[in-house]
Amino acid sequence: MTTEQMDALDDTEPPIPPTVSPRVRAAAYFVLLGCSALVLLATGLAPIWLAADTATRVVATGGVVTSVAGLVAGGLGVAYRPTR
């Protein structure tokens, strides 16, 4: 397929509007950003202030929380701008 043919296909397709409102995406972005900062702080300080067994649990829990936050953010379209 040539570049001209691909451009013609791109021009004929209407843009897909985002299904999540910008306000919800922005709120999710800031809430999940704050959550990620708290998890980073907790996982960084846990080995310093807690016993080894407890610190390992805090770090593991932080990894799970961060993964779920990334999943939610991606699902809401926060990780990218789906306006094209």
Domain chopping of the chain, boundaries = 19-76
79 or 77: whose pLDDT is higher? 77
- Cα–Cα distance measured from residue 60 to residue 30, given in angstroms and rounded to the nearest whole number: 23
Token duo for residue 18: 């985002």
* Per-residue pLDDT tens over the stretch 26-36: 888 888 888 88
CA distance 46 to 48: 5
CA distance linking residue 61 with residue 59, whole number of Å: 5
Rg (CA), the chain: 20
pLDDT tens per residue across span 2-32: 666 666 665 566 666 667 777 888 888 888 8
Token digits for 65? 């929380």
The rounded distance, in Å, linking the Cα atoms of 54 and 51 is 5
